[in-house]
Amino acid sequence: MKSFKTLKADLFRNRWRILTGLGALLIVDVLQLLIPRVVKYAIDDLTEGRVSSSQLLLYGTWIFILALGIGGFRYVWRYLLLGASRRVEKSLRERFFLHLQTLSSSYFSRTKIGDLMAHAVNDIESVRMALALGLVFIVDTVILGVLTLFFMAYIHPLLTLYAVLPMPLITVITLVFSRRIHERYEVLQKTFAQLTERVRESIAAIRVIKAYAREETEMEKLSRVSRDYVNKNVGVTRIWGMFFPLLLFLSNLSMAIVLYLGGRLTIVQSISAGDFVAFMSYLGMLAWPMMALGWAINMIQRGAASMDRLNRIFGETPEICDAPGVISSGPLKGKVQIRGLTVPSGNGGTPLLEDIDLDIHEGEKIVIVGRTGAGKTVLCHLLARILESPEGSIFFDGTEIHRISLKTLRGNIGYVPQDIFLFSDTIRENIAFGRPDASREEVDEAARIAQIYDEVMEFPSGMDTVIGEKGVTLSGGQRQRVSIARAVLVNPPIFILDDGLSSVDIQTEERILGELERFLRGKTSILVTHRIAPLRRADRILVLEQGRVAEVGDHRNLLDRSGIYANLYREREMEEELEKEKF
């Protein structure tokens, strides 16, 4: 049960529902045990021939009242206990999702989405079942079992002793089987995660699969994982399938003992016929706690295995987080200082960035260029703390980056990454993602600055057009412009555009840059680009080569040096000329 310790706060919040529900469950069990007593008196009166129609009607009325009470209080405990488990499930799922959002991007790079989906759906559902029916079955086993034994002992103690002789075997069987169920269900959950990931990946890559006509191959891959999942399920079912019949066998063995010994006691009139019928009824009731124990052990073991998996994730700590003593200040002004920034590659090779020194003034336009792998994107990630930088290497407005809260830092940076992600929602909602309270006019203006508004308004539903998963119904250039509009709407003092215009044509790029120049006036902007147009508009250009600053200057001065920048510029100029000739 120690697996469920992390739910202590959730259970405490629902303590009155749980306690009241358990009280109602206790009342139901007591009322059930009273019915055989009424039957006992009725049979004894019938056997002795001293019962009238009015008395039989009275017995029937008592059973009817007891049945009403059982039904009413059963509704109460089901509503309260099952409702409490749903509330705990909701809280657990929200806590799980919130915790995932605190983890660093490196965690998601080594964890499959299918695993996380299995945790969010299957594992949390198993925990809910353990807290709901598992708890009910355990409590019902204890309450109903103990009270039933009390009523049986009241009728005949020695007969009760004979009836419970097979029961110690239940404890031994439960201990052996529960351990095996726990181990196998842990493996089963991992296999389910693999199956979920296989399905997710195949659906996400459906266009590639169709393009290469690999439907049958993918089907075979899924079939193998699915077959493995079925085999693991059969293994759990095999253990569970032996457990349940053994409990029934022991229950029926007790009934056989009572039928023989209790029948003899009835013949010699040591107990009345009514007592014998009531005793058999109680024995039948005792069979339920024995079976419920099996169900409870199965559910709780499954829930414990799932909770263990969830607890391992809750134990993950983010690599990037707010340190003690962080500053949650107002808007940043936009002054950026980089001092001796060196970032190792992690594999012992050439550093990703080495000895970077740079002062970016408030409101300055900086363009970063360099060949693939030069470290441009790494630098952008470091500025937004998507990657962690060494202490004392990056400063905003004179404050070391680690002393600025993540919320403050990222709330003051409008970041357009290389890898665009759009939600399967309307275009308007995608643009307003960073500012959900923005007015329609503000969203439209951001779309105009990004040069996407006119194209979107040609769609049948305009800005309310729902795009597909990851924006698949839009072109690459349209996705980039929606992403730019999203950053523009936030209106940050610092704007980082990491090669965010690579998929738009040259004419559209010129229009976007013209609008951005007006929008970015007075703001600090850092643009990573392989295009020519942004270079002429930059206050300064930073040339990276193998992680080091090779050249710094404005467009004209760097051309005059005839160095790395001049070569990159001429190469790109020739490529853009060829692009223009194609059109």
Residues 531-546: pLDDT tens digits?
777 777 888 989 888 8
Q: 420-491 architecture in CATH?
A: 3-Layer(aba) Sandwich (3.40)
d(C-alpha 29, C-alpha 23), whole Å: 10
d(C-alpha 154, C-alpha 131), whole Å: 34
Q: Is the pLDDT of residue 461 over 80?
A: yes
Q: How confident is the model at residue 76 (pLDDT cuts 50, 70, 90)?
A: very high
Phi, psi (rounded to 5 degrees) for 473 = -80, -10
Q: Is the pLDDT of residue 180 over 70?
A: yes
CB 551 within 8 A of CB 370: no
Where would I find the beta strands (DSSP E) of 325-471? 336-343, 353-360, 365-370, 394-396, 399-400, 413-416
Average pLDDT estimate for 174-182: 71
Distances (CA, A) of 67 to 108, 132, 186, 282: 55, 24, 41, 16
Predicted TM-score (pTM) above 0.75: no
Average pLDDT estimate for 122-139: 83
Contacts of 213 (CB under 8 A, 6+ apart): none
Q: Is the pLDDT of residue 582 over 60?
A: no
Residues above pLDDT 90, as percent of the chain: 7
Average pLDDT estimate for 256-265: 80
Q: Which residue has the higher pLDDT, 22 or 287?
A: 22
CB 413 within 8 A of CB 494: yes
Residue 23 CB neighbour total at 10 angstroms: 14
Distances (CA, A) of 433 to 79, 449, 469: 38, 17, 16
d(C-alpha 501, C-alpha 535), whole Å: 13
Determine the pLDDT at residue 73.
92
CATH number of 334-412+493-583: 3.40.50.300
Q: How confident is the model at residue 194 (pLDDT cuts 50, 70, 90)?
A: confident
Q: Is the pLDDT of residue 246 over 70?
A: yes
Task: For residue 122, give the DSSP letter.
Answer: I
Q: Strands of 524-528's sheet, edge to edge? A: 413-416, 494-498, 524-528, 365-370, 540-545, 548-553
Question: Where exactly are the structural domains of the chain?
Answer: 85-314, 334-412+493-583, 420-491
Q: Strands of 353-360's sheet, edge to edge? A: 353-360, 336-343, 394-396, 399-400
Query: Which run of H or of E encompasses 249?
Result: helix 215-267
Q: How confident is the model at residue 175 (pLDDT cuts 50, 70, 90)?
A: low
What class, spelled out in words, does domain 85-314 have in CATH? mainly alpha
d(C-alpha 503, C-alpha 505), whole Å: 7
Determine the pLDDT at residue 75.
93
Determine the pLDDT at residue 64.
92
Cα atoms in the Cβ-side hemisphere of radius 13 Å centred on 316: 22
Dihedral of alpha carbons 479, 480, 484, 487, sign: positive
Q: Is the pLDDT of residue 583 over 60?
A: no
At 16, the amino acid letter reads W
CB 395 within 8 A of CB 336: yes
Average pLDDT estimate for 271-277: 80
Determine the pLDDT at residue 579.
62
Determine the pLDDT at residue 571.
80
Of the listed ranges 27-31, 470-474, 483-487, 497-501, the least confidently predicted one is: 470-474
Of the listed ranges 279-283, 304-308, 488-492, 537-541, the least confidently predicted one is: 279-283
Model confidence pLDDT, tens digit, residues 304-339: 888 888 888 888 888 888 877 777 667 888 899 999
Model confidence pLDDT, tens digit, residues 427-451: 999 899 888 888 999 999 999 998 8
Determine the pLDDT at residue 29.
84
* Mean pLDDT rounded to a whole number for the chain: 83
Average pLDDT estimate for 8-34: 87
Determine the pLDDT at residue 347.
66
Query: Regarding beta strands 336-343 and 394-396, do their DSSP bridges make them parallel or antiparallel, or are they unpaired?
Result: antiparallel
Q: Tell me if domain 334-412+493-583 and domain 420-491 are identical in fold.
A: yes
Q: Which residue has the higher pLDDT, 141 or 384?
A: 384
Q: Is the pLDDT of residue 291 over 70?
A: no
Q: Which residue has the higher pLDDT, 328 or 83?
A: 83
Q: How confident is the model at residue 68 (pLDDT cuts 50, 70, 90)?
A: very high
